[in-house]
Amino acid sequence: MARHVLVLGDGGGVGEALIRRLEQLGASASLESSGNARALAARLAERHWTAVVVLSHEDALALRLTLLAAQLRPDLTLWVGLFDQTIAHQLRQIAPAVNVVAPAALVATALADHCHALGARPHPRGSGVRIVDDALRLMVRAGGVLLAGLVAQTAITMSALHDSLIDAIYFGARSIVAAADVPRAAQAGTVFKLLSTVITLASVVAIAVFTAALVRRLSRPRYTALLGRRRVPARDHVLLVGFGQIGFRLALELRRRGIPVVALERNPEAQCLRLARGVGIPVVLGRGDDREMLELLGVRTCSALAAVTSDDLANVSVGLAAIDIRSDLPLVLRLGDGDVAAETESLLHLVDILDAHRLVANMLAERLLDLA
């Protein structure tokens, strides 16, 4: 069993939680967060270590520290937490003795269990569609105006000129798109001419709006759609705030269980956004504590809200904003600071809190000490 553990990587967070848990279980542990290779080598050279754990928010740093530890102390049991599965696969090929874990996947599974316990359920028949992109909303509205204009033009053409349905649709579409005259329109009555003029002018404006919205939609990244896997559900979905490593994994797990989900991410440069398009997860850019944004994403009709950003206080802020809109909202918060969690539980009695750091630390400690 690993009774003397050296933790390498970021200071605080999971590392400190792991040290506390190991000490509670009777083991000794120490954290080395220095990025200096000489300092790390000196700590690794100490002969009393029985295991090394590498934990970092950056996979590149975690890989570097793991390879350093494996080279200097091949006799030690080595554990590393990684997010990127490609890096994890390559590491297994290079150093098969290294134990690779995915903390984000572990936390995401636990969060999905919490969401399910609060009432999130699969919806095989779908859960409607909600249009949240402003450009897409303009396109739909302009398209609706054009369709209404075509129906109206067809109706008055059939009534005033006694054309067949096919002819009326054909010439009505031409008059709307190209502003072309309907045959025999000059011989029609005044009412027909006035109505046709109004329809044509409204259609010209609608075409301009539709074109502008289409250009805007195509000129920027698109993370939602009107149809398909990236459509935003209208009801009975999980509203996920934060699309980092854990948020991405949680969205995948909810999707795997058949539970509709939409994610809200504040940072337009977030690394997981590019992954969202490939797997069909709808993501909206915006602030999770913005009441208008929460309303837009259906906070009143969702089955649960999960705030899973890397900032504890931001998650609490999201929870407060959401509860203020809907007091009975099933709410799951990812927190890592024990004090913040305790204070939040006293403030929000309906909240379901998951201490991500403690969860990962407990799992690692149990495996290190052969308790799992």
Digit-coded pLDDT (tens) for 265-281: 999 988 889 889 889 99
225 phi/psi in degrees, rounded to 5: -145, 165
Same domain flag for 21 and 74? yes
Please determine, for residue 339, whether its predicted confidence score (pLDDT) is greater than 80: no
Shared-domain flag, residues 236 and 320: yes
Residues 84 and 123 in one domain: no
Rounded distance between C-alpha atoms, residue 341 and residue 351, angstroms:
10
Domain annotation covers residue 288: yes
Q: Within this chain, do residues 253 and 332 fall inside the same structural domain, yes or no?
A: yes
Tell whether 21 and 60 lie within a shared domain.
yes
- Domain hosting residue 72, numbered range: 4-101
Assess whether 247 and 205 both reside in one domain: no
- pLDDT value of position 112: 93
Domain co-membership, 260 together with 121 = yes
Q: Give yes or no: residues 62 and 202 share one domain.
A: no
Out of 101, 120, 145, a domain closes at 101
Q: Are residues 241 and 335 in the same domain?
A: yes
Q: Is residue 125 part of a domain?
A: yes
Q: E strands within the chain?
A: 4-9, 28-32, 51-55, 77-81, 99-101, 238-241, 261-265, 283-285, 304-307, 331-335, 351-355
In terms of domains, do 272 and 186 share one?
A: no
User: Do residues 271 and 234 share a domain?
Assistant: yes
Comparing CA positions, the residue from 65, 17, 194, 217 lying closest to residue 136 is: 217
Burial label, 50 (beta-carbon count in 10 A; 0-12, 13-18, 19+): middle
Residue 304 is assigned to a structural domain of this protein: yes
Is the pLDDT at 367 greater than 70? The verdict is yes
Res 372: pLDDT: 46
Q: Per-residue pLDDT for 235 more than 60?
A: yes
In a domain, 151, yes or no: yes
- Token pair for 169: 């649709």
In a domain, 367, yes or no: no
pLDDT at 253: 95
Residue 361 lies in a domain: no
What is the spatial distance between Cα 310 and Cα 336, in angstroms, rounded to a whole number? 9
Reported pTM: 0.81
For residues 140 and 115, membership in a common domain is answered with no
Q: What is the CATH number of the domain that holds 84?
A: 3.40.50.720
Has residue 338 got a pLDDT over 60? no
Position 144 in a domain: yes
Which of 218, 235, 260 terminates a domain? The answer is 218
Please report whether residue 211 resides in a domain.
yes
* Number of domains making up the chain: 3
User: What mean pLDDT comes out for the span 202-225?
Assistant: 92
